[in-house]
Chains A and B, each alone.
Chain A
């Protein structure tokens, strides 16, 4: 009996510690400005342009370079390694706490529609599971996590390799009254890869005869959800692809086909797909750190090309016969 009593006592103490830990993590994460989900829901923002997508958008679209040319304010809502479900929740949370922007640019390339690339990063939404929309997306994309999240603290403990650091960082920021993200106020994330990383060689080794992208139904479903959410909020949404290093295109056998399908999908909702794959910069490897991310030098070129393009074709007349 004494043994049983001790085990029960341990369980009660553990339960209490976990409940308190859960509360601490919630508070600390809310005060971490480096988490875009927590930042956009706790800071009032009103940018004119929003960029959305995975790391190609997060690392390339720099508002500090684009805004001076367009004369507008932009915010980069893109998140590294994210898929469309992830992007959808980012946009949903943003719109729940902030007024809709005028323009939304969603990055999409062949890799975006294929489930082999990028993932749903559940740990970014640990603090928002009480929201039914977030909960249903999390349940669909990460059912194992969703089951565990019902236990005390497990909504944070399950992805502790991410949340422990983020909570400590948030708590430190709270103590120091630090509200500015390390990665900048405009959401742009400076690439962690500073120099050319020859992952095209890995790619060629993996797919010596080239590869074909396959449409994943779930990716398609969330892409449509993003488009509908934007249109419902009267946002001028554009699909776009930033420059791709030209020699790598040879290994994507159905690139043209997938691009045409993306264009078709956009057209169904009356939105254009902007593809910047004929720029001269795409031939120079110095403009890239991988086949899809531009280098610092490449980023300067593309951001200015993009801003000029925006001024000329989009700023005053959305959707000017681009379809």
Chain B
């Protein structure tokens, strides 16, 4: 069931109504609904989530009851390895030529469903977090299997997070959640904002990025650079749109889920960017990977942090996909963060020399450019495509004089006007939402229904949204 569809919205509405009509069975209802939701779309994914939940649920209980510390450690390591192996196996299969063929082939649609298990990268991280917390006695094991399955399979967020840490999910208590109009108003508005981001911005930008990245043609540097910017903005609106829809749907059930983004394009450094982008993944990586590494190597001082950064970003790259493109992407970020780490003092001195606004503006601009350039690796299908774009940006002609001339020439004979109009609409809407996003989040909070916001959002979707042939959410592929 695609998330951008009337079926999904109808399903969500039906479950919300049942949820508040049957307060005693709320968790059971959500568990059943999540399994139905997954099973309907992809039976293999539904089965996989049950099997892996059972495994981790049982391991949690075994960890708790294991007497000797050595035995406990052995169980923990094996269970974590199993979870990692599951992710690696699927990531590895995706990166093989056969996996790529199956992924893109419509003929093997059934096979595609069997081998690409939805959300597995996301809930496997949740499972590792759970096992670690139980192992380190930060929490007691969960004793209700349906609750544990819900932790993994909760349908609004199962495809692409946000990744929920066990403490946040299981410490909510067991009492029924009562109907609250504020949750419904805010949740609905949040879902609408997500839909606008996805179908009005991300899907309108997608063909532009596709036309540069996926065709082996030579472009002037400015065009290739613009493609990197366009993809970065597309990725943000696509992923944050999904997140808004997920958080909004969770709000409808009165279940708070933590934010995944915080205006990342206002970041003044790459480290700040990572505190604002895919926050739930970075929180997971920080808590379960970076801190343990830094703690273990604490005598190395600054080099402990550097080693932690390297390990964290290599793992993050592998989590996104096994291949040279993701490895290069993660190395880029690793290098950016290492440079930041070792140039902290000179940068502080520089900041003092300049007045705050120009320095801040320059920092934002540089950060955005670094992130966009690294995203060339993230978007490119093959490393050769990424290198071709870099070659075009840094060598060869930069200004797209010929491209502009070729585009403008048909205007005189009535051609390309529609394309020009659509470009103008896309740029205007993207800029408008990008600049008003902070305000919009504040505006839709609270219990009041924002009549104008809902109406304008719906009209934007109907007038300017890509309907009928919406693109898949990018992060549901990880």
Residues of A within 8 A of B (CB): 2-3, 6-7, 9-10, 13-14, 17-18, 21, 34, 144-145, 148, 153-154, 157-162, 164-166, 168-169, 181-183, 190, 192, 194-195, 205
Which of B413, B458, B462 is in CB contact (< 8 Å) with A160? B462
- Give A264 to B349 CA distance when docked, in angstroms: 83
Stretch touching chain A among B219-227, B259-267, B272-280, B448-456? B448-456
Q: B235: shortest Cβ distance to chain A, in Å?
A: 21
Knowing A6-B449, A10-B454, A160-B463, say if A144 contacts B422 (CB, 8 Å): no
**Known A3-B185, A10-B451, A165-B417; 18 more pairs at CB < 8 Å:** A2-B181, A3-B181, A10-B454, A145-B468, A148-B468, A157-B463, A158-B467, A160-B467, A161-B204, A164-B464, A165-B422, A166-B418, A182-B414, A183-B414, A190-B414, A190-B415, A194-B406, A194-B410
Collect the chain A residues with CB atoms within 8 Å of residue B451's CB. 6, 9-10
State A10–B449 Cα separation when bound (angstroms): 10
Report A-chain residues with C-beta under 8 Å of the C-beta of B406: 194-195
Chain A CB within 8 A of B421 CB: yes
Flag whether B321 is at the interface (Cβ < 8 A). Answer: no
Contacts of B204 in A (CB 8 A): 161
Q: Which residues of A contact B409 (CB under 8 A)?
A: 194
Residue contact B414 to A144, C-beta cutoff 8 Å: no
Task: Give the residue name and chain of the A residue nearest to B415 (CB).
Answer: A192
Q: Is the CB of B418 within 8 A of A160?
A: no
The docked-state distance in angstroms from the alpha carbon of A280 to that of B82 is 69
* Listed A/B pairs (17) with beta-carbon separation below 8 Å: A2-B181, A6-B449, A7-B188, A10-B449, A10-B455, A14-B458, A34-B414, A153-B462, A154-B462, A160-B462, A160-B463, A160-B464, A161-B466, A168-B421, A182-B417, A190-B413, A192-B410
Sorted nearest first, the 8 A-B pairs with minimum C-beta distance are: A182-B414, A192-B415, A157-B462, A3-B181, A6-B449, A192-B410, A165-B421, A190-B413
Q: Is B38 an interface residue (CB 8 A)?
A: no
Please measure, in the bound complex, the distance between the C-alpha atom of A109 and the C-alpha atom of B3, giving whole angstroms.
41
- Give the interface of B toward A (CB within 8 A): 181, 184-185, 188, 204, 216, 406, 409-410, 413-418, 421-422, 425, 449, 451, 454-455, 458-459, 462-468
Q: Are the C-beta atoms of A3 and B184 separated by less than 8 Å?
A: yes
Q: Chain A residues with Cβ under 8 A from B463's Cβ?
A: 21, 157, 160, 164
Residues of chain A within 8 A (CB-CB) of B449 are 3, 6-7, 10
Give Cα distance in the complex from A182 to B451, angstroms. 41
Do A161 and B422 have beta carbons less than 8 Å apart? yes
A144 close to B468 (CB less than 8 A): yes
Name the distance in Å between A138's Cβ and chain B's nearest Cβ. Answer: 13
CA distance A132 to B463 in the complex (A): 26
Q: Which residue of B lies closest to A168 (CB)?
A: B421
Give complex CA distance A166, B422 in Å. Answer: 11
What residues on A are CB-neighbors of B458 within 8 Å?
A: 14
Smallest Cβ distance from B211 to chain A, in angstroms?
13
- The residues of B that contact A148 with a CB separation of less than 8 Å are 467-468
Task: Take A17-B459, A165-B421 as given contacts and tell me if A192 and B465 are in contact as well, using a CB distance cutoff of 8 Å.
Answer: no
Residues of chain B lying within 8 A (CB to CB) of residue A194: 406, 409-410
- Chain B neighbourhood of A9, CB < 8 A: 451
Whether A13 touches B416, Cβ cut-off 8 Å, given contacts A7-B449, A157-B462, is no
Q: Cβ of B462: which chain A residues have Cβ within 8 Å of it?
A: 18, 153-154, 157, 160
Given the complex, which residues of A lie within 8 Å of B418, measured CB to CB?
162, 165-166
B416, A192: Cβ atoms under 8 Å?
yes
Shortest beta-carbon distance from B59 to chain A in Å: 43
Q: Nearest B residue to A197 by beta-carbon distance?
A: B406
In the docked arrangement, what's the CA distance between A21 and B460, Å?
A: 13
What is the CB-to-nearest-CB distance from A187 to chain B, in angstroms, rounded to a whole number?
Answer: 12
Cβ contact of B455, chosen from A2, A13, A145, A190, cutoff 8 A: A13
B215 closest partner in A (C-beta): A202
Residues of A within 8 A of B421 (CB): 165, 168
Which single residue of chain B is at the shortest CB-CB distance from A7? B449
Min CB–CB distance A174 → chain B (angstroms): 17
Question: How far apart are the CA atoms of A120 and B425 in the complex, in Å?
Answer: 25
Q: Which residues of B contact A153 (CB under 8 A)?
A: 462
In the bound complex, CA of A10 to CA of B459 (Å): 12
Distance A10 CA – B458 CA, assembled complex (angstroms): 10
Q: Chain A's nearest CB lies how many Å from the CB of B448?
A: 9
- B105 → A minimal CB distance (Å): 15
Which residue of chain B is the closest to A166 with respect to CB atoms?
B418
Minimum CB–CB distance from B57 to chain A (whole Å) comes to: 38
Q: How far does the alpha carbon of A308 sit from the alpha carbon of B422 in the complex, in Å?
A: 42
Q: In the bound complex, what is the Cα–Cα distance between A17 and B406 (angstroms)?
A: 39
B188 to chain A, nearest CB (A): 8
Knowing A3-B449, A6-B449, say if A157 contacts B467 (CB, 8 Å).
yes
Contacts of A6 in B (CB 8 A): 449, 451
How far is A211 from B216 in the complex, measured between Cα atoms in Å? Answer: 20
Q: How far is the CA of A164 from the CA of B414 in the complex (A)?
A: 17
Separation of A307 and B459 alpha carbons in the complex (Å): 51
Residues of B contacting A10 in the complex (Cβ-Cβ under 8 angstroms): 449, 451, 454-455
Q: What is the distance, in angstroms, from A315's C-beta to the closest C-beta of chain B?
A: 30
How many whole Å from B258's CB to the nearest CB in chain A? 25
Smallest CB-CB separation from A182: which chain B residue?
A: B414
Q: Cα distance A2–B182 when bound, in Å?
A: 12
Q: Complex formed: what's the CA distance from A80 to B414 in Å?
A: 14
Contacts A6-B451, A18-B462, A165-B421 known; A158 to B468 CB distance under 8 Å? yes
Asked whether A14 and B414 contact (CB < 8 A) given A6-B449, A165-B422, the answer is no
Residue from A7, A13, A165, A192 having most chain B Cβ neighbours under 10 A: A192
For B413, the chain A residues whose CB sits under 8 A away are 182-183, 190
Q: How far is the CA of A154 from the CA of B461 in the complex (A)?
A: 11
What's the minimum C-beta distance from B49 to chain A, rounded to whole angstroms? Answer: 30
Assembled-state Cα–Cα distance A300/B421 (Å): 32
CA distance A9 to B421 in the complex (A): 33
Q: Which residues of B contact A164 (CB under 8 A)?
A: 425, 463-464
User: Distance in Å from the Cβ of A15 to the closest Cβ of chain B?
Assistant: 11
Nearest-CB distance from B477 to chain A (Å)?
23
Contacts of A166 in B (CB 8 A): 418
Complex: A17 Cα to B409 Cα, angstroms: 38
Closest to A190 in B: B413
Query: How far does the Cβ of B273 sit from chain A's closest Cβ, in whole Å?
Result: 32
